[in-house]
Chain A
Amino acid sequence: MKMLGHLDRLEAESIHILREVAATCDHPVMLYSIGKDSSVLLHLALKAFYPTPLPFPLLHVDTTWKFREMIAFRDRKAAELGCELIVHVNQEGVDRGINPFDSGSRLHTDVMKTQGLRQALDHYKFDAAIGGARRDEEKSRAKERVFSLRSAEHRWDPKSQRPEPWKRFNTRKRAGESFRVFPLSNWTEQDVWDYIAREGIEVVPLYFAASRPVVERQGALIMRDDDRMVLAPGEVVQHRMVRFRTLGCYPLTGAIESEAATLDDIIREMRDAHVSERQGRLIDHDGAGSMEQKKQEGYF
């Protein structure tokens, strides 16, 4: 008699889901957003197909506003692991001059992330996109299936999702339809960090506290990662000990003041924290139910 631990059960479930994608979808891709969840997802995928290399490429939808450290980490990781990495930029958005400062977070996210993702999926004809979203992140994500069907227009219909009992996934779809697949559905933020610590997974250094140049704007601490961020009158760049709980576009991602410089520090800090992870994501606060709306439109 033997018992599998909590993390062992989560790991096995995720590996099962990843293998199901490889076995049932014709042309899958794994979305790689460079964050901690993506790092865990990539680690699990390497395990799922071991000793065979990943049977699908990685796709990063680059909004051109990611932290520079993220991009460096992405390129180094892909080279180290020998994974095929596709980087897609919505060139049309760039040409229109869309940016998070002047266009607003909503338009920027829609054009550069949501539309960018749809362009890439259509262009490469991927029929399944594997992502690292977790149900505990946000309320509308708590309702999402593991194999979540999208129409040919990439829309999500939350009111008529397919029932998903046990691990029996209905992977049938019509031409043009595709799946978003979430192997980390049942993981929590705490599980992710515990697993990173247990497996020794490398993550972007931005998660660890360091002295960084930040500007206080609308109650959030925004790191000035490059000089595209123009200071408003009265704003000053200060060097503070900060870190990030989640990573997105740097102008839209608030830092938290922290001294947590190691994994143990982060795990301890998270246990003492009383705010949720996505609080630093400005796009979630665009209006009540705003994540659901973005997801219906095709946001991951």
Chain B
Amino acid sequence: MNTDLLERPELRDAATQARIQPAIRPTSLLRFLTCGSVDDGKSTLIGRMLHDAGLVPTDQLESLEKDSRRYGTTGGVDYALLVDGLAAEREQGITIDVAYRYFATSKRAFIVADTPGHQQYTRNMATGAAGADLAVILVDARKGILPQTRRHSFIAGMLRVRHLVLAVNKMDLVGFDKNSFDALVAEYRRAVEPLGFASITAIPLCAREGDNLVLRSLRMPWYSGPTLLGLLETIDAGQIADTTAALRLPVQWVNRRSENFRGYAGTIAHGSIAPGDKIRVLPSGLRGTVARVVTADGDLPRGIAGQAITLTLREEIDISRGDVIVGEADRLTATRELSARILWMDEKPLDPAAEYEIRIGCNTANARISAIRHTIDIHSYAPTPSAGLEANGIGLVELKLDRPVVAAAYDEDCDLGGFILVDKHSNATAALGMVTEQETAAPAASAPALREWHGRSLIKAASWRAIGSIDTFILSWIFTGQVKTAGTIAFTEVFTKIGLYYLHERAWVILPWGKVGGSIAGEGYLAGVMRKIFKK
């Protein structure tokens, strides 16, 4: 029995000895979250994994045994109690709020956001997913894919969590059956295929007894993939900063030490910066040159993304909090209109008449939701026309701001693309949002091909007729040798053919076939919208 194996201390110790106290400090960090429907065993999974990896201190193990007798829902040791920290959570045996856990093995340091499964607390799941590199989505092998599985998968995809692990838990309750596992995984892969994860790995688990968490399960010899911890330790965490990219520094705080020192403090969102580099300030558009990249440990020869630095410039320029300093070549602009995917988090539904406060980068502005283009049906992922958005609803909206802010598409730059909306009356954080690619550029360019003003068609017809009539006059003159006849033919033809050309031109304008570059005309509205939502 596998349980016996896991409970045999000498085997467990041998397996975990290397992990227990890493001799070398890990240098890489993986942020991940656990999510899925309620009762799928998320907290148990984290608790048991920490336990099996030998990372639970002795005194916590002792209180775990005590607490298991008092609150436990499983009969034996309830590993979920290692992570469910609030009294209400312990009483109800559920997770309400996201809990952060920290552990390290010799290979890597981990920050885990253990997120709640109840639909009511979806906003807390989204908080845990924002900034995570990987999501572990749990499903109960008996229940299969539930609405909450689909919802959490969609939110993880929307927040651009790169990797996904489908943890099929409670395999013991389906007799460790390979076929049930395979069927569930196939259905899931089909469902989330459009969400664009960099990788999806499915692992069969029995979290309560530790199968395939740290140690390979002997009860599922048909599974040859990695254990959960094995995967977490080795998957690409993607933390390499691209120093060749253009600089983006949202100005967080202006440091005025004295008349001689005026620095712009912030965390580099994107790219890198060195003294001598030419910069532009948005939204003012003023230009300058970097003098120093200041830190308390001395000036840097080059600052890179992720570093909290203070920049000084050679020129005296008016810059304040909320401005963004960008590399000279960066084409980023400030805008008062944003398209964004949002997740509504407040109990109070979206109010199209209300003014919200948007916080994006280090900037703050007043915002109104001018249009809800559609909401997402969480069962089919299909966009649905809708007039409103309620708690935990997801939609694509248009925002109008009272002043220009610097924003980038979230997919390229989550620091300048991710924002929150705050209810100005209750001060609640009402929504989180992600700026979509600013789509005004593409459709605007293709618009003339789709529609043409009638007057323009008429003038085109007239100009073409002028050329055509001169041609007709010259040819008729050559063939007939008579100026008068040639003139009559050409003059009469002007009027008949202008009318014919105009009708012909309008007919071609209406016909969509053969047009390129337009996103809506050729593929139908629904397909166009889907393509935009699921753009990878």
Binding site for B on A (CB under 8 A): 1-6, 8-9, 11-13, 15-16, 19-20, 22-23, 46-52, 135-136, 138-143, 158-159, 161-170, 172-174, 185-186, 188, 190, 194, 271-276, 279, 288-289, 292-293
Contacts and interface: CB of A to CB of B under 8 A. Distances in A.
A21 to B, nearest CB: 10
B427 A142 contact: no
Across the A-B interface, give the 10 residue pairs with the lowest CB-CB distance, nearest first: A139-B85, A165-B130, A50-B296, A289-B87, A15-B308, A47-B296, A271-B21, A276-B57, A274-B58, A12-B308
A19 B308 contact: yes
Nearest to A161: B97
Given A52-B257, A165-B420, A190-B104, A142 B296 contact: no
Contacts of B414: 166
Interface string B225-255: 0000000000000011111000000001101
Contact of B86 (A13, A49, A158, A165): A158
B295 A49 contact: no
A177 B222 CA distance: 58
Contacts of B304: 2, 4
B296 A288 contact: no
Contacts of B191: none
B415 A143 contact: no
5 contacts: A163-B124, A165-B131, A166-B414, A170-B429, A288-B90
B99 interface: yes
A164 B127 contact: yes
Contacts of B415: 166-167
Interface stretch (B23-31, B465-473, B494-502): B23-31
B130 A19 contact: no
Given A136-B102, A279-B59, A4 B90 contact: no
A172 B255 contact: no
A97 B240 CA distance: 58
Contacts of A289: 86-87, 90
Contacts of B295: 47, 50
Contacts of B88: 158-159
B419 interface: yes
A299 to B, nearest CB: 15
Nearest to B84: A139
A279 B59 CA distance: 7
Contact of A142 (B101, B240, B321): B101
Contact of A51 (B22, B25, B261, B357): B261
Nearest to A185: B100
Nearest to B81: A139
Contacts of B428: 162
B429 A163 contact: yes
Contacts of A50: 294-296, 310
Nearest to A17: B308
B87 A276 contact: no
A42 B241 CA distance: 28
B296 A2 contact: no
Contact of B58 (A49, A163, A275): A275
Given A9-B29, A186-B102, A272-B21, A168 B241 contact: no
A13 B306 CA distance: 8
Interface in B62-115: 67, 70, 83-88, 90, 96-102, 104, 109, 111
Nearest to B21: A271
B422 interface: yes
Interface in B286-309: 294-297, 304, 306-308
B123 interface: yes
B265 interface: yes
Interface of B (DSSP majority class):
mixed
B319 to A, nearest CB: 13
Given A272-B21, A276-B60, A5 B27 contact: yes
Given A140-B86, A165-B131, A292-B86, A6 B422 contact: no
Interface string B270-296: 000000000000000000000000111
A143 B257 contact: no
A16 B127 contact: no
A166 B130 contact: yes
B419 A23 contact: no
Contacts of A52: 255-257
Given A142-B99, A172-B422, 15 more contacts: A3-B27, A6-B26, A13-B308, A15-B267, A48-B308, A50-B296, A52-B256, A161-B97, A162-B428, A163-B420, A168-B360, A170-B359, A170-B420, A172-B357, A292-B86
B138 interface: no
Contacts of A188: 102, 104
Given A4-B304, A23-B253, A166-B415, A273 B57 contact: yes
A150 to B, nearest CB: 13
B28 to A, nearest CB: 7
Contact of A1 (B127, B241, B420): B241
A28 B422 CA distance: 22
Nearest to A290: B87
A4 B86 contact: no
B362 interface: yes
Given A140-B85, A143-B85, A9 B306 contact: yes
B127 A165 contact: yes
Contacts of A279: 57, 59
A170 B427 contact: yes
A2 B300 CA distance: 14
A190 B29 CA distance: 14
B126 interface: yes
B396 interface: no
Contact of B420 (A5, A19, A138, A168): A168
A273 B59 CA distance: 11
A3 B29 CA distance: 11
A6 B308 contact: no
Interface string B360-396: 1010000000000000000000000000000000000
A47 B85 CA distance: 33
Contact of B57 (A47, A190, A274): A274
A50 B427 CA distance: 32
Q: Considering residues A11, A139, A140, which has the most beta carbons from chain B within 10 angstroms of its beta carbon?
A: A139
B405 interface: no
A19 to B, nearest CB: 4
